[in-house]
Structure 1
Amino acid sequence: MQQQLMSSPPPANSALQRYDARKIASYYRWRPWKALWRLIYIISLFNGFIWGLLWDRWTHTSTAHYPQRAIQIRKILTQLGPTFIKVGQALSTRPDLIPKDFLTELMLLQDQLPPFPNEQAFAQIEAELRQPVREIYQEISAQPVAAASLGQVYRGRLFTGEEVAIKVQRPNLRPKLTLDLYLMRWMAARFGRFLPLNLGHDLTLIVDEFGTKLFEEIDYINEGQNAERFAENFKEYPAVEVPRIHWAYSGRKVLTLQWINGFKLTDSQCAVEANMDPDRLVQIGVISSLRQLLEFGFFHADPHPGNLFATSEGSMAYVDFGMMDQLDQTTKNTLVDAVVHLVNKDYELLATDFVKLGFLTPETDIRPIIPALEDVFDDIIGAKVGDFNFKTITDRFSELMYDYPFRVPAKFALIIRSLVTQEGVALCLNPDFKILEVSYPYVAQRLLAGETPDFQRRLLEVLFKDGKFQWQRLENLIAIAQTDQSFDLIPTARLGMQFLMSDEGDYLRRQVVLALIEDDRLHTEEVERLWNLIKGDLKPEKLFSVALGALAEFSDSNLPEWLPRPPLPVS
């Protein structure tokens, strides 16, 4: 009986809900002809490209022909369909693997294909929801309003009167993806070790991780749950809008969600005609991205212009939550550490951060890398904020990839893609935009607030260097934070007072006293500059109230005799 079960063919791969390399391989072992014909087609398309590369090498014209070959590979990937389009998009964020000319061209890969017929789309809806389309939707558009490589979208209306977007997956998508993933993994297992790639591990693991993410992206139930989680994170931030999911009319291959009235953020002229402030939209986008990475750890990994809308109310709407990822608390903490060490120009600790984040392996000798980091980042940190953007970092950092054993972990490839895309959208709305003009105030506020012990520790790292208090750094942090008009120094001062008066603040209390009399002189000039900077936000009476409020957090036994007790609550 057991032998009979083992010799039976596996179930169809279209039934797989999650990526499973073993089951997919077992399926195609029983159907080798399917894999063979697809493999022949792939090889036939790549054949000319590979011979072209070899010819360029033999004739010593590789550099001159790079742009031509980059266009050629983009067209081949588009012709091969959804799986290869997604591969190309993933590679567009890997400067450790792909030459710069190819990266630029792969970024142009459009996640678009011609729409498939309505008859197939409506049949998909009826099969998934088990009702005729006319009984589900009061209205549905005659043609799709958008078509991508994995599905297409219709505009409709429920019988309750609500306008909705109806997302329908392409027919037979899962079998096509599994066949391509099977062939990619098969080739990676046999030829991956011969490729001069700086991966740090088996290429088949890269394929498996890619396959896992791709299967998550085509599961619309997973996408709907992602949307609800994202909305929960931003429920206190109305500037970010997320469409509501209509679960009664959704399944794994069909997703019905609230229709967003707005325009894509590439349509900057629409923003002008609607009398909207492009700078406000830019600020919303950057701050929301930073909150995703540094606060929630749950981030939108595909914020391309087609997935971002501006509404008439002045908010930004995110759509399409198929490609999301999660950062654990340790990674979030290390990211903030890296920012602090970068600001402090402590490149030895920054190199250690790269090891913790997976950009360098633990056994890497970081000593020769430290001066290289200094060469790359010193100019960037020394530049004015207005002359700096995120792409500057990625371009300069990519120069290190071929000289030192850096690699980009898959998770950070998604983060890089997210940030570069977000900055590209911002530059479309405002060509003079500089990302640090918006992001620095946010990071400075988080550090100054010291909401958690981790942030308090990082603030101390910024303010003290070699045991000496850095007055200029404190002034810079406050000045940068104040560039955001919504910044309120009072809550920050309250948290600071509470920390100073706690047991954990003992070290800081002593250091502040030492800073005031450092080098055998009273630092009145620095104190005066600092007071002039904050006096508009901290009137003496407000400051006294903040101090009393901080003291009120402690019991009466901890208060000095000469201080007034907080009033008792009225019953």
Structure 2
Amino acid sequence: MLAALRHAARFARVLWVLKRHGAWFAVRRLGPLPWPARLLVSLAALPAPGRDDEADEGKRLVAALHALGPAYVKLGQTLATRPDIVGPGLAVELGALQDRLPPFSGEAARKVIEEDLGQPVDSLFPRFDDRAVAAASIAQVHKARTADGRDVAVKVARPGIRTQFARDLDAFAWAAKWAERLSPEARRLRATDVVETLREGVERELDLRLEAAAASELRETMLGEPHYRVPEIDWHRTARRVMTMEWIDGTPLSDMATLDARGHDRHALAERVVQIFLKQAMRDGYFHADLHQGNFLVEADGTLVALDFGIMGRLDRESALYLAEILWAFQERDYMRAAKSHFKAGYVPGDRSVADFAMALRAIAEPVHDRPVEEISAGDMLAQLFATTAAFDMETQPQLLMLQRSMVMVEGLASTLDPRVNLWASSRPVIESWIRDQYGLEAQAADTLIEAGRSIGRLPDLARAGARLLERAERDGLPIDPRSLAALKGPDRPHPMTAGVIGALVGALIVLLLS
């Protein structure tokens, strides 16, 4: 009972802050509330008249979340990945939610480092700058130098942040549970699932070893990529609350004036951002998913360096193929192919009309072809897409939600660098190359081998099924027409399994010749 009262008091403050920042629309859109919630809302709203006009709703909600603290900032970032819940327009606004907070003291940072690494800071870093160069909700970054003369960036978790998040997440879970009991709309939106997704994401970010592992994996997959790289992790100086990586001297992607003064080609940078993201998503199935300007630096030679790997996305090969086919079809204005790809992937129910779905996709894509990003509203386009998928009973695909959010973010990042950049034109070389690799001769041979292996794996089951059929025939006298036997045998055709083995051998030969 006492815990419930504490949670209720916290949410009374939340409602008050929402009202004060003019974000009351977020409460109104919950629909009819049960009487206990209405009473709490009424009491919370009394001391905070606030403004509640319809302009800039997303910006006002972002300001309210910042005022509420780190857990609410993370909640907003999580909801940005769920346009099916908050709507495409608000998802775009929340996608720009910056995770910035005032720094904590250098003395506190030193204490965390010594507790987690078990050595004095001076022995780990003979030079350590107590002033943080960046501060967010979970951690902040200090510049330091190791004994061998390397400059490094040391990311240190906020003291007590795990306890603070645990308290707020427990309150979220309590509110979500009661909301689902009392509100059909909350049940439809799966409020408890949203909170659980948030909890899992925060748990990953609170362990800086996992962020270090994410950076290390992305670095490996992107080795050799021209003009793009990921800093190297110093694993000997990394622990649960401390992550050390090489220091990068570069210009923030947000500093347009300095980029121009140093002669960097912003159009080329915009295209690189788009193309690198598509390569990571489609080719590698592992992509940087926190694509705002503060997470990139540009080195003197124009190399783009990624930072902050707390939010990453994964895409399996089937989903990557679907993405490539859809993008390629849109590039070629082949909307029937795009529609068939949706049906083939099982994203649209098979009883719906492929032709009608193709026409709906045409209505979305044609208006944006050959137009610069500055003339295209990503929010409007997503709104049309979600309205279309809802009309065709297309279920939300969890594996694509992070991808959709990231695509909106990368488009916004590219358009900030150069409003004239064309997203379709920038992505075309990557899509063409990847499709050629996936559907070329070697890829087809590899797929043939995989399918043959699956067929061989099914042989024991087929044999057992055949034995059961023969036993039944002997026991029950199952009649088989002689013409059926003749048809099964066929005129001197090789056995299906023989054909499969031959196909596999030919595929293996092709792979050997091409390797």
TM band (smaller chain): 0.7 to 0.9
**Match of residue 375, structure 1, among 338, 346, 360:** 360
State how far apart, in whole Å, the 1-side matches of 2:442 and 2:379 are: 27
Counterpart of 1:43?
Answer: 12
Distance 1:278 1:110, change over 3 A: same
Ranges in structure 2 where 5+ consecutive residues have no aligned partner: 33-50, 446-501
Contact 1:157 1:163 in 2 (8 A): yes
Contact 1:71 1:105 in 2 (8 A): yes
Structure with higher RCO (Cα < 8 A, 6+ apart): 2
Distance 1:262 1:233, change over 3 A: same
Q: CA deviation at 1:138?
A: 1.5
Counterpart of 2:128?
Answer: 140
Distance 1:37 1:352, change over 3 A: same
State how far apart, in whole Å, the 2-side matches of 1:234 and 1:335 are: 20
Alignment of 1:21-420 (within 5 A): 33=2, 36-47=5-16, 49=18, 52-53=24-25, 65-67=53-55, 70-99=58-87, 102-103=90-91, 105-192=93-180, 195=183, 202-342=190-330, 343-346=333-336, 348-352=339-343, 355-356=346-347, 366-367=352-353, 371=356, 374-378=359-363, 380-381=365-366, 384-387=369-372, 392=377, 395-401=380-386, 404=391, 405=393, 408-420=396-408
Ranges in structure 1 where 5+ consecutive residues have no aligned partner: 1-31, 458-501, 507-549, 555-571
Q: CA deviation at 1:233?
A: 0.6
Contact 1:226 1:324 in 2 (8 A): yes
Contact 2:146 2:152 in 1 (8 A): yes
Q: CA deviation at 1:423?
A: 2.1
Contact 1:198 1:407 in 2 (8 A): no
The residue type paired with residue 343 of structure 2 is T
Distance 1:300 1:196, change over 3 A: farther
Render the CA deviation track for 1:363-418: whole Å, top value 9, x for unaligned: x8534x96366235346247543446896565223135356355644443322222
State how far apart, in whole Å, the 1-side matches of 2:110 and 2:56 are: 41
Counterpart of 1:473?
Answer: none
Q: CA deviation at 1:45?
A: 2.4
Number of residue pairs aligned between Structure 1 and Structure 2: 424
Q: CA deviation at 1:439?
A: 0.5
Distance 1:326 1:200, change over 3 A: farther
State how far apart, in whole Å, the 2-side matches of 1:107 and 1:450 are: 32
State how far apart, in whole Å, the 2-side matches of 1:47 and 1:256 are: 40
Render the CA deviation track for 1:508-566: whole Å, top value 9, x for unaligned: xxxxxxxxxxxxxxxxxxxxxxxxxxxxxxxxxxxxxxxxxx9x949xxxxxxxxxxxx
Render the CA deviation track for 1:28-75: whole Å, top value 9, x for unaligned: xxxx756643541222221574795488999xxxx9823365454333
The residue type paired with residue 74 of structure 1 is V
What SS does structure 2 have at the residue aligned with 1:166? strand
Counterpart of 1:492?
Answer: none
The residue type paired with residue 12 of structure 2 is I
State how far apart, in whole Å, the 1-side matches of 2:305 and 2:17 are: 43
- Identity level (%): 26
State how far apart, in whole Å, the 1-side matches of 2:325 and 2:66 are: 40
State how far apart, in whole Å, the 2-side matches of 1:214 and 1:391 are: 33
Contact 2:295 2:307 in 1 (8 A): yes
State how far apart, in whole Å, the 2-side matches of 1:453 and 1:192 are: 52
Contact 2:328 2:431 in 1 (8 A): no
The residue type paired with residue 352 of structure 1 is F
Greater shift in the superposed pair: 100-109 or 293-302: 100-109
Distance 1:228 1:249, change over 3 A: same
Render the CA deviation track for 1:418-461: whole Å, top value 9, x for unaligned: 2222222222221211111210122123334556569769xxxx
The TM-score with structure 2 as length reference comes to: 0.72
State how far apart, in whole Å, the 2-side matches of 1:353 and 1:197 are: 31
State how far apart, in whole Å, the 2-side matches of 1:373 and 1:200 are: 29
Distance 1:250 1:412, change over 3 A: same
What SS does structure 2 have at the residue aligned with 1:309? strand
The residue type paired with residue 399 of structure 1 is Q
Cα RMSD between the aligned structures? 3.6
Distance 1:159 1:406, change over 3 A: same
The residue type paired with residue 78 of structure 1 is H
State how far apart, in whole Å, the 1-side matches of 2:429 and 2:374 are: 15
The residue type paired with residue 349 of structure 1 is K
Render the CA deviation track for 1:248-290: whole Å, top value 9, x for unaligned: 1110100111001101111122122112222232232222111
Contact 2:89 2:380 in 1 (8 A): no
Render the CA deviation track for 1:164-221: whole Å, top value 9, x for unaligned: 0010011111122222222222222231365565987743233222211221122111
The residue type paired with residue 252 of structure 1 is R
Distance 1:396 1:422, change over 3 A: closer
Distance 1:340 1:105, change over 3 A: closer
What SS does structure 1 have at the residue aligned with 2:55? helix
Greater shift in the superposed pair: 369-378 or 260-269: 369-378
Contact 2:107 2:130 in 1 (8 A): no
Distance 1:282 1:81, change over 3 A: same
Contact 1:263 1:309 in 2 (8 A): yes
The residue type paired with residue 281 of structure 2 is L
